[in-house]
Structure 1
Amino acid sequence: MLVTANDKFFQKKQALAVLKHGILRRYLPIYATMTGSTSESGRVVYLDGYAGPGRYEPEEPGGVGAPGSPLLAVETAKRVQGWKRDLHCVFVERDPSYVGNLRAVLAEAAPEGMRYDVLPGDVKDRLGEALDLTGDRPLFAFLDPFGTALPYQDMVERLLGRGTALKTEVLLNFNLGSVWRIGGLLTGDEAEPNGENGRREAAISRVDAFLGGDWWRERFMAARRGEVVASRAAQEVGREFCQRIGNDAGCGSFTVPIRRHPNHEPLFLMILFFRHDAAPYQFNEAVSMANAEWRGLWRARDLDADLRADRERRGGQEDLFGNSLIMDYSEQEAQRAETLLENQWIEEVAENLRALTIQQVAIKIRENMSGIFGRTLGMARERHLRKAWDQLAEEDVLDARPKKGKMLWQTIYRRGR
């Protein structure tokens, strides 16, 4: 098989999903509240193109499974009602068994009066209906497929091509694994599916449709000829894909690598396609906090593995000191590690600001996200920028930071301009 089976994925919430859903859970409320401020009756539409069954299977028998993206959207709809926003959710799912489960989960979880629609079928076939339901309202589309997603032309012309006057953002899960596995059919690194040339061509054609042509084939093979590993070659394809979407749809992109483990190569790229200049700043806040949650998950899992191994070495007997002491010590270590990381980010951001002020007198934050954050983008956020700014103001490099007003609208000025 060239792609992971859906049912296996939904058996248990994966570490990959923790970061993806952490981003969605934090950013969707921001998008809904900001765009809903100018929408009639505060209405905003959320489109989940690959909704799944709504909930993961429970970790333990008789338990309740973790919420999938549809339930995160329901929670967002409840939350933004307090700001007089009306989030209309449209869920598309092609697996009939998932559709039934999704409807049951939503019927139980959705508050009375919440607007939502479940559309059975493939998102490319139901996109027209979803866009009709959206009308001219702001739209946030979440595309998280198992393999390749919506064809390129549909993404550019129908979804992002709704019109520049219509507020539209797309959060796409770009499956690097699919690209490098199917790319392996071109280079001979992967065996043909069941030895069938027809299936090989069909798999490659699916990637062609998703990426907007066969340009990626030579890009991937050239990288492999240069002794770049398949995962890195797929990332190069992903970067060019973002550039092509940006050029053809007139939008920007913000890419977040999604890894199975902190030390692994990314398996996915979460890509936000946007037009509003506030989007990168707000999205970075969501990504940074989701990354912090994800790091905490891995620390907890590593600690649990250590405790299990220690218990096995002692033949199942509990430590006389108890695990609570170990947990307390590990929490202190985690806090120290986070503090060290954050201090490094602050220094990095400060150095970036110092370099930028040599080139320009005024730095508009929302227009200089990459230059300001550099390698810390997606890790550092406003709190770290604030500390870096204050540090440089004390050194008489920058004017003091205004104490009022939202940070993303502020401009950083070089001292003595």
Structure 2
Amino acid sequence: MMPPKPASRADKVSFWRYLRLFRRDILSAQPAKLYRAWMAEFRTPFFRSYLVNQPELVRLVLKERPGDFPKSDRIGEGLRPLLGNSVFLSNGETWKRQRRIIDPAFEGGRLRDTFPAMQDAARAAVARLKPGETEIEAVTSHAAADVIFRTLFSIPIDHEIAAQVFDRFRAYQRSQPILNLAAFVPLPTWVPRLHRRATRQAAREIRALIAALVAAREAEIRESRAPDDLATKIMTMPDPETGQCFSREEMVDQVAIFFLAGHETSASALAWSLYLLALYPAWQERVAQEAAGMGEGFAAINALRLSRDVFREALRLYPPVPMMVREASCPHEMRGRDVPTGAQIVLSPWHLHRHERLWDNPDGFDPARWHGENGRQCHREAFIPFSAGARVCPGAGFAMMEGPLILSMLVREFRFEVIGEDQPVPVAHLTVRAQDGIRLKLKRR
């Protein structure tokens, strides 16, 4: 049985029908030919868009000329109510300043400090599970949110404010599509952005709760009693060029994206990892055997090679962020086509990771692929779950430690099995999730 994949659109459609399909689910709205195309042009009445899959073009946009291709504000239109001007949405000097402050907190040595909190969250996730049928996305969302709060603010998910943020975010996640109307139709700044009322309300509530956590931490820092966690590191880190730290509002923006990127994306990848192991029980038993010999200290991470391969394969098949959009700040030529200033450049991990001209067995589940010649080459040239280049996700190392650790600890204690023959249907909300969730049967080992 092949892992589930949404059906692609085979016919040509009008712009307005495409817009309706896109808002419902960006994955199934795309034509099947994108799994073989090196580049595709999409014209609307308002702008041109180019999806690029050729590794040389992806490298040009993300690594060689990132200054020519800043983040597109069209994506920011949909996410700004929650994320403000966070590092995920900003550009230019603002983005550079934010990264100068944030990056030191996620360096390798600092990540080691987060491991005990991460392990505690994984233990708590195991303790919450019971044998029987379970909706696994809810399990991984809870676990990933617990990791974020423990590592960022040294509080568990059952802390009053943490629990409220988690609850509000679940409402936000299902009500907010990746793009809203402003992504397709240029709107003057004075025109309302047409965000759904539930989306706006959830964003306001989440930001107010985060602001309370930030204010409390500011007081703890002033009184020299703040724990040495990620929040303290970031809030006390001055910009090496200006000497200024983040303001409270700026810190709220950053915490919002840490929660979105660190919780939502990890939850998605973990849920699909567990489903894939349930679908392929022979691989699951190998992961369980590896996990049985796992130690307790930080060095245990280095021993989780198979779990890491499985998690990486889930990131390939179900990249949490399926599409990224950049904007050409000057004219370019790509594959003989003139790409004008203002054109939208779409990088699609979803299509790149399953590209039929790049990957062997592109739609199949094969964790061993990463040790073969094709897998190693594609890992370098066609695998971008965390983006790449200057704008690579600062939490990529964090995620690649968290995912295999939680996966191993869950599989060590429980056997996961599929229920019936129906497969979950991948759709894109804020991240790639299953349309109706992922139900698995758990048995204690």
Both proteins in one fold, TM over 0.5: no
Greater Rg, structure 1 or structure 2? 1
Normalising by structure 2, report the TM-score. 0.23
Normalising by structure 1, report the TM-score. 0.24
